[in-house]
Amino acid sequence: MRSLSDIFEEYDFLDGDDRYRLLIELGRELEPMPDALKTDATLVRGCSASVWVYPVPRDDGRLHFLADSNAAITKGIVALVLAAVQDKAASEVAAMDVAAALAPFDLTRQLSSNRTQGVPNMIALVQDTAQRIAAD
C-alpha cells in the first residue's frame, strides 16, 4: 500500500475527474477481503455504501486492516483511511489524529456529502479497535 504522503502528492497534482479515478484505483489496490469477513460485526455504520473493516492484529503489536466496499469511490476513501493507519502499532493508531492526516485531501469539498458522511465512522471504528487491542 502506498503511503498517504505519496498518494497526496499525486492527488494534489490532479483535478476533479482525475481525483475520482485515483480514488477508484486506490480502492482496486486494496488487499482482497474474504466474503466471510463481511458481516454485520465488521460493517461500518452510517455510510451510504456498504463498508466493511476487519482488523488483523500482528504478533509485533501492529495492526493490519482488511476492508472493502460495494461502491468504487467509497472503496477508494476506505483505502485513504487505511493508508493513514495500515501496519502501525495499535497504540500509535489509537493516539493519532486520522482526520488531520486526511485533511489535506479536503474530501468534504471534493466529494458529495453522501460519499464522505461515513468517514468519521470509519475512523472511529479503526481507532476504537486500536484502543481495545493496545489495552490488551
Model confidence pLDDT, tens digit, residues 59-77:
898 999 999 999 998 999 9
Amino acid identity of residue 7, one-letter, is I
110: buried, middle or exposed (CB in 10 Å: 19+, 13-18, 0-12)?
A: middle
Task: Retrieve residue 93's grid coordinates.
Answer: 493508531
> Taking 80 as the threshold, does the pLDDT of residue 81 lie above it?
yes
Crossing angle of the two packed helices 16-29 and 72-85, in degrees rounded to 10: 70
Q: Which of 22, 47, 66, 67 is catalytic?
A: 47
User: What average pLDDT does the segment 78-95 reach?
Assistant: 95
Crossing angle of the two packed helices 4-13 and 16-29, in degrees rounded to 10: 150
User: What average pLDDT does the segment 115-124 reach?
Assistant: 83
In this prediction, residue 115 carries a pLDDT of 66
Distances (CA, A) of 92 to 5, 19, 46, 68, 100: 17, 29, 25, 23, 14
User: Could you tell me the pLDDT band of residue 136, with boundaries at 50, 70 and 90?
Assistant: confident
> Taking 90 as the threshold, does the pLDDT of residue 48 lie above it?
no
User: Could you tell me the pLDDT band of residue 135, with boundaries at 50, 70 and 90?
Assistant: confident
47 annotated active-site: yes
Q: Checking DSSP bridges between strand 88-89 and strand 62-69, what pairing results, if any?
A: antiparallel
Average pLDDT in the chain: 91
d(CA 112, CA 115): 5
